[in-house]
Amino acid sequence: MKIALLTQGFRTFAPEASNITLMILAEELSKKGHEVIIFCNQILKQPLIEKINGYKVVRQKSDYNSRYKSAMQLLNFSKMIKKEVEQSGKEFDVIHNFSASPILAIRAVLAKKHSKNAKLIQTIRARTNFYLSYLLTPLLNKFDFVVVPTNSLRKTLIRFGLNPIKIKLISSYIDINKFKPRDKNALKRKYRLNNKKILLYYGHMSESKGIYNLIDAIELIKDEDFIALFITGSGENFIQPYERAVRKKNLQNKIKIIKTPVKKTRNIEEYVAMADAVVLPYPNLISTEAQPSCVIESMASKTQLITTDIKELKELVSGYAILAKPCNTESLAAKIKEFLRNGPDKRMIEKAHKKALEFDYRRVIGRYLDIYSE
């Protein structure tokens, strides 16, 4: 099959879940003999055309400083598809769009004009922060299938007008050969953190991830024996406010922010496996995947997970994680303190690890192929 994957931006060097999962999908489809092309906007002067591990990436120049030009970029996905079809003389069999906002489905609907027999697929993995865009949910009825990872997202889209028969529940996925249990003590020796109790936050440093809440919680329990590592590839504009907050609270001996150069990702899987607990203090899941990769990776690594009691997240972690109240510093501090004093819940960790094995990309991507052929 000839498959078009449409997304807003695609950075092979950025360790973000949306990039990693799309990369895995494109590589696996290519390995199975399919012709795969990713269409996206250019970010940070990336090449407009490149070939990577068997698939092709086609980008259009971006201008995020102009609303008009941003809108035109949305419409221009159709032109990129048209150009590819004309140059190759072969239409697409599948056009698969990825976005949180239903409004971005427009690019796939328009693109189908140039591959009229293509199957049209939409994947929505997160809630959009542009809530009004849900008013365009009926547009998704033009797709053959709409893929979501959770029942919560499914119910939201139905409430706003999507025909339930269009929906397919397909989970997020990770590489369980990369995120797996390892010898924690050996890793602590490797990173010169011997005999330390380690709390880990990793991922993007945007304010929507609840990081200030975590810093405030650490301040409340600073007399406990632990060190917290924040590992991120986010830019300085995201990191500096947290560095100032850590200095202001005099927590430099408790919190270490490890900056990962965007084009040189650290062995994050080793940090996840080394940590005694991964702490993900989400206030909500808006603009965060409904099944966050960090959550599943922690479970797969047999590392205790401490996160928040959010309805949508509980679909994934109920019974597999220690849950604090969202946006509640005292609750988060209490749960971390309880963990530090009592140690990990080994039974919970074993159950979580078993659950995480269900999210291996080798199992999940087969379901995408099923709907491509259905």
Q: Could you read off the pLDDT of 199-230 as tens digits, one per residue?
A: 999 988 888 899 999 999 999 999 999 999 99
91, pLDDT greater than 60: yes
pLDDT at site 127:
81
Q: Tell me the one-letter amino acid at 360.
A: D
Distance from C-alpha of 256 to C-alpha of 253, rounded to nearest angstrom = 8
- Which CATH architecture does the domain made up of 2-170 adopt? 3-Layer(aba) Sandwich (3.40)
Mode of pairing for the β-strands spanning 255-259 and 277-279:
unpaired
Residue 301: both structure tokens together: 């690594």
| C-alpha to C-alpha distance for 239 and 135, rounded to whole angstroms | 35
> Residues of 171-197 as b/e, b for ≥16 C-beta within 10 angstroms?
bbbbbbeebbebebeebbeeeebeeeb
**Which pLDDT value is given to residue 203?**
85
- At 179, the pLDDT band (50, 70, 90 cuts) reads very high
Choices 1.20.1250.20, 3.40.50.2300, 3.40.50.2000, 3.30.200.20: CATH for 184-358: 3.40.50.2000
The answer to whether 233 and 260 are in contact (CB under 8 A) is: yes
Indicate the SS3 state at residue 286: strand
SS3 303: coil
Residue 13 has pLDDT above 80, yes or no: no
Asked if residue 301 lies in contact with residue 273, where contact means CB atoms within 8 angstroms, the answer is yes
Asked whether 102 and 91 are in contact (CB, 8 A), the reply is no
- Beta-bridged to residue 60, according to DSSP, are 41
Residue 200 Cα to chain centre, angstroms? 17
Out of 134-138, 256-260, 303-307, least confident range = 256-260
pLDDT per residue as tens digits for the range 224-278: 999 999 988 766 678 889 999 999 999 999 999 988 755 445 689 999 999 999 9
pLDDT at 237: 74
The CATH 3.40.50.2000 domain(s) of the chain lie at 2-170, 184-358
Strand, helix or coil at 180?
Answer: coil
Q: Could you give the percent of the chain with pLDDT greater than 70?
A: 94
pLDDT (average), residues 14-34:
87
